[in-house]
Amino acid sequence: MTDPAPFWQTKTLAKMTRPEWESLCDGCGRCCLHKLRDDDTEELAFTNVACRLLHLATGQCSDYEHRQKWVPDCIKLTPAKLKKIDWLPPSCAYRLLAEGQDLPWWHPLVSGRQETVQEAGISVLGRIIPERQAGALEDHIVDWPGRIPKEARPTPVAKKGPPSP
């Protein structure tokens, strides 16, 4: 007897319950980093500057339920908004599922452990600075939030062949 497929493999993002939707967030904090967009080219640049509500020791929002009260431009992500947003990091579960991909090995829903987000190098922990200490955002542009680290990529399956002599 096989286990039923997990909800993210059987439901569309729009059909998920609120708890299912919320559980897709791996808590990496990458979407909570300030981003810059070039007015002329529309090019997006990530910074290592954390939103003022991002708790630097946990990588979690310190007031998630009321975040829009404190940070009015914080986006409440929905399936409809997801179609128009281009700034989610490539490791984001919402983005991956919207693009028809599966959740990676390190996602807590797959691994069963929140720590795998840090172990895979996805979390912002240890790599960010507080908004109030940043100064000019242009001085803090980094590329790592827009990349998936090698540690987070699936390990290739070894091809079976004849044994080595």
Query: What does the pLDDT look like over 96-128, one tens digit per residue?
Result: 999 999 999 999 999 999 999 999 999 999 999
Q: Where are the domains of the chain?
A: 13-146
- 50: three-class secondary structure by DSSP: strand
CA 33 distance to own-chain centroid: 11
% of the chain exceeding 90 in pLDDT: 67
% of the chain exceeding 70 in pLDDT: 93
* 55-82 tens-digit pLDDT: 888 888 888 888 888 888 888 899 999 9
pLDDT for the residue 71: 86
The string of DSSP codes covering 64-90 is: GGGHHHH-TT-----HHHHTT---S-T
Beta strands in 2-146 (DSSP E): 33-37, 44-50, 129-130, 141-142
Residue 156 pLDDT > 80? no
pLDDT for the residue 159: 40
pLDDT for the residue 75: 85
Q: No. of H helices and E strands in the chain?
A: 8, 4
